[in-house]
Amino acid sequence: MTTEEQEAAVHTLLRALQIEIPADRIPALTVAYFTAMAQSQQLRGDVTRTPSASAFDAAWDSK
**58 domain residue, yes or no:** no
In a domain, 34, yes or no: no
The predicted structure's pLDDT at residue 48: 56
What is the domain range of residue 1?
Answer: 1-28
Residues of the chain scoring pLDDT < 50: none
Number of independent structural domains in the chain: 1
Burial of 31 (0-12, 13-18, 19+ CB in 10 A): middle
pTM of the model as a whole? 0.49
Determine the pLDDT at residue 19: 82
Q: Give domain status of residue 10, yes or no.
A: yes
Q: CA-CA distance, 42 to 25, in Å (whole number)?
A: 26
Residue 60 in any domain: the answer is: no
